[in-house]
Structure 1
Amino acid sequence: MRLVSKRRIRFLVFTLFGLFAVFILSRCIVHFQYNEEIKYYKKYFQQKKDGLQEIYNPLEIKQIPEETVDDLYEARLEKELKNGQVIEWSKFAYVNYVTDVDYLCNTLIIFNDLKEQFGTKAKLVLLISRDLLDSNTSSNAEYIRLLLGKIQAIDESQVVIKLIDNIVKPKDTTPWNESLTKLLVFNQTEFNRVIYLDNDAILRSSLDELFFLPDYIKFAAPLTYWTLSDQDLEKSYHEIKHREKQPINLGSYTKILTKRIRKGQMIYNHLPSLPHSLYLNSNNIAQDIISSTSSVSPLFDFRGSGKVGKLKFASNMMVINPSKEVFDEIVEVTLPKVLNKKEKYDMDLINEEMYNLKKIIYKQFTYFRKVRKYFKPEVLVLPFARYGLLTGSLRRPSQYSMIYNDVLGYKTLDDNGNDISRDLNDTVAQSKYIHFSDYPLAKPWYYQSTKDFKCNIEEKTTEESEPELQACNIWNSVYESYMQYREICSV
């Protein structure tokens, strides 16, 4: 009996060892195959991209420079002017949501500026919690109705006010326990494309150009640039220049992109890529794909490490193609994953479950391998200095080099390869959407005047103090503008 038992144990050990060896061997074979395919397609897209029209590079996440966004918009306006291709503005919308009365005034400011100052023809959609209008539960119900009347009066046909039910995190007493209500923007399916805006921000210009990003892009947003270090940036420049053997001068891309847009040619493969070092675990894309183990739902059919890197999409400004299918997936599958988790809110859900930068590469390459010509990318990175600047960055001279070069991994250089000198005043003047974010400072509507929180630095004549003084003055000017705008909310 003992002999039989030993034989069984040996057999079991050899069987397990054999299975493990087969597993390792198969993994190595797959890894080798992925590596070879990736090498082939990287070379393929580098050499063939000028002639490609309907085949998209699945191995990159692309960034779009602000000049290219403007070129696409101008090209669409020219079609309307020359060829009579009328823009159906009723299919586009700016969207705000409000669950807190303190934020409603800023919706009025933003919508009024969009219509009266910037002349947008897109719809202006406010999603407002029905609880705020319940006179039995809201002490501000009358004030809210007066503000809603002002908002509607901006343009009776252009403004759309929808009553919504909040998405509330149970047992969560933080100020963000209703932030998941933001996800309702994905369900505004009467529109082809919407621009979602958090209303704790100041809008300085029209964003209409963002409606005319390529149709296949379903989601676009700036990145959380403030999480990056100088070392991260240097690593990204080195990656583009040496490993990818691509120029880091952004001008070399925008010139080509402008020409291709004028000719009606495909631009996606010519857009600057987001450096892999900023969001992948390793420099080896195949390794990241092979090491992916966590499965997700059929709609978001991709895998990858559930962890999110420090660089992710900001959720305070998003360009979205609303979809019933996507929203149903959010409600039925994605939302339940975070409702009862501590410190998990709208940006966490968007980045962990929907648009995880690491997972996107897996999704794109997996789909491309199956369908190739039918694959189309769905995600695009917007330049953050124009569309996602934080007020907190204005007081940090250490972040200036980053906001001057807001297509990550690339710089604006002159013909000699030197950084083109930029000025903070010009950069802020060209910024269209600036988010109030100066923790522990509260939002500006909680103060009577700028005197309560004004930035003051003792004036000195040394060169070292000049950047700080300039930053302080610019920061003050942004908040002073808001204080002037909010007079419109007097009732």
Structure 2
Amino acid sequence: MAPLWGSSWSSKWGSASAADANASGSNDLKPSLAQILTSKRIRYTASALATVGFFFLLFHNYDRLPTLATMRGGYSAAAPSNADCLPAVVPVFDDASVDWSQYAYTQYVTNKEYLCNSVMIFESLHRLKAKADRVMMYPENMMDPAETNPQSHEAKLLVKARDQYGVKLVPVSVQRRSGGDATWAESFTKLLAFNQTQYRRVLNVDSDATILQPMDELFIMPPCPVAMPRAYWLFPKDKILSSQLMLVQPSEVEFDRIMKQMESSGRNDYDMEIVNQLYADSAMILPHRPYDLLTGEFRGDNHQNYLGTDREEFDPVAIFNEAKYLHFSDWPVPKPWITMSEGMRKDKQPKCENKNGQEDCTARELWNGFYTDFTQRRTKVCDTAARTRR
């Protein structure tokens, strides 16, 4: 049987001088431990054992290995997997250290009726000094984004948004699909937010709303492909995501998923259904307080879904003061740019309450104020007193 240390080692040491042999007192040369450990065969054997051990540990603990995203830390070019989404907690950050040009508030416009609403959203962001960029996706046939001499009313509004409110204009092809409800046929255009890959993160908000406070802190949330609040008015019976506000990490991968889901969706599936089909169980859940308050909440009698508890009293002023995004959703009350008869207003406005023997009409005053404020701002921002119909 060949010696363990191999022929190369014995050949080297077999040529030792006789004097060395005599000095050892023996004709049989015996290698030292250090010589054995440095032999080639020992090194090969140790390497093989180490490799086997490495792969055993690798496959035995594959689920504990860090992902590429976690090794890089924070945001990575590739959207993290759903398992990597952390709870929606705003980390401590310094405004001055954030490159806000990597983030944007986005709006989509499908027709001239909604163009004014979008410009109003950007006017609010400008007035409130929101730090992130502002991007409007609008029908490519409305105007060249570099237009300097607008003629149509739509073109003038687009130029106003660009020049006065710092909005970046992105012409797009409106995404339209016929379905059971013509109202939402073009709402798929909203999903183009997933394709704004020039940004690290975008916050898309519906334009039938009022922004009450900046929401820049959402951009610094832990990484996740999509973050949305729940439709709290349906919770807990239905755990549905609300697409009125979507925090998105644009990527080719996610946009491709969105487009494929659109192609296979049914006649009654629109933007909200599509995002729920894809992200219902994986999206980061944003708190609806303060990011998604419905105007209809002020008309209701039971506020447990919004408050999240039956132990808290609904304080209209406190709720309004904490809210950052107020969505006009008041069925059967029409949207605020559509004429509402005085009879409907009086019939549907919140009821006054009796508190400590006195009449309290705070909720009613706030609710009426929402609609009055919207009408006044629409006239001022869009320079028109005409209310358009949906």
Q: Same fold (TM over 0.5)?
A: yes
Q: 1:76 is matched with which residue: 66, 88, 93? A: 93
Q: Does 1:314 align with 2:228?
A: no
Q: Is the 8 A contact 2:134 2:167 kept in 1?
A: yes
Which residue of the partner structure matches residue 482 of structure 1?
Answer: 374
Q: Is the contact made by 1:62 and 1:381 (CA closer than 8 Å) also made in structure 2?
A: no
What is aligned with 2:306?
403
Cα offset, 1:130, TM superposition: 2.4
1:125 aligns with 2:49: no
Query: Paired residue for 2:326?
Result: 434
Asked if structure 2 preserves the Cα contact closer than 8 Å seen for 1:224 and 1:311, the reply is yes
Q: Deviations over 1:148-182 (max 9, x none)?
A: 12111224xx4211111111113666111111111
Q: Aligned letter for 1:121? A: K
Q: CA deviation at 1:393?
A: 1.6
Q: How do 1:230-245 residues align onto structure 2 when only pairs under 5 Å count? A: 232=236
Q: Deviations over 1:348-402 (max 9, x none)?
A: 01101x1022xx4xxxxxxxxxxxxxxxxxx31111131111111221021x233
Residue in structure 1 matching 2:257, options 299, 305, 329: 329
Instruction: Name the structure, 1 or 2, with higher relative contact order (CA <8 Å, separation 6+).
Output: 1
- Native 8 Å contact 2:295 2:329 kept in 1: yes
Q: Secondary structure at the match of 1:160?
A: strand
Shift in Å at residue 222 of structure 1? 0.8
Matched, 1:148 2:76: no
Cα distance change on mapping 1:62 and 1:394 into 2, 3 Å: farther
- Match of 1:181? 189
SS at match of 2:333: coil
Matched residue, 2:50: none
**Post-superposition offset of 1:482:** 1.2
Distance 1:220 1:104 in 2: 25
Q: Does 1:222 align with 2:229?
A: yes
Distance 1:313 1:466, change over 3 A: farther
Percent identical: 30
> Do the aligned partners of 2:179 and 2:267 also contact (CA within 8 Å) in 1?
no
- Highest CA radius of gyration, 1 or 2? 2
Q: Is the 8 A contact 1:63 1:383 kept in 2?
A: no
Instruction: Give 1:428 shift.
Output: 1.5
Question: Which of the numbers 240, 245, 268 marks the counterpart of 1:343?
Answer: 268
Q: Partner amino acid for 2:252?
A: K
Question: Secondary structure in 1 aligned to 2:334?
Answer: coil
CA distance in 1, matches of 2:342, 2:318: 23
| 8 A Cα contact 1:130 1:164, kept in partner | yes
What is the Cα deviation at residue 462 of structure 1? 7.5
With over 3 angstroms needed to count, the CA separation of the structure-2 counterparts of 1:337 and 1:397, relative to structure 1, is same
CA 1:63/1:419 → structure 2, altered by over 3 Å: closer, same or farther?
farther
Unaligned runs of at least 5 residues, structure 2: 1-62, 64-72, 75-79, 145-150, 385-390
Q: Deviations over 1:297-351 (max 9, x none)?
A: xxxxxxxxxxxxx2211001011110011112222x212111xx22110000110
Q: Distance in 2 between matches of 1:101 and 1:320?
A: 26
Q: Secondary structure at the match of 2:108?
A: strand
1:95 aligns with 2:106: yes
Residue 311 of structure 2 is aligned to residue 387 of structure 1? no
- Alignment match of 1:445 (pick from 337, 341, 365): 337
Partner residue, 2:280: 356
CA RMSD of aligned residues (A): 3.3
Partner of 2:30: none
TM-score by length of 1: 0.55
The 1:153–1:452 alpha-carbon spacing in structure 2 relative to 1, beyond 3 Å, is farther
The structure where helix makes up a greater share of residues is 1
- Displacement of 1:451 in angstroms is 8.4
Q: How does 1:107-122 map to 2 (within 5 A)?
A: 107-115=118-126, 117-122=127-132
Task: Give the CA deviation at 1:204.
Answer: 0.3
Per the alignment, residue 11 of structure 2 pairs with: none
The runs of 4+ residues in structure 1 deviating greater than 3 Å are 58-64, 131-134, 170-173, 418-422, 448-467
- Structure 1: gaps of 5 or more residues: 1-40, 42-52, 81-85, 135-140, 233-277, 279-309, 361-378, 406-410, 412-417
Question: Residues 475 and 60 (structure 1 numbering): CA distance in 2 closer, same or farther, change over 3 Å?
Answer: farther
Change in Cα spacing, 1:434 to 1:451, as seen in structure 2 (3 Å) is farther
Name the SS for the 1:447 alignment partner. coil
Distance 1:430 1:336, change over 3 A: same
AA of the residue aligned to 2:263 = P
After superposition, where does 1:419-430 map in structure 2 within 5 Å? 419=311, 421=313, 423-430=315-322
AA aligned to 2:247 is V
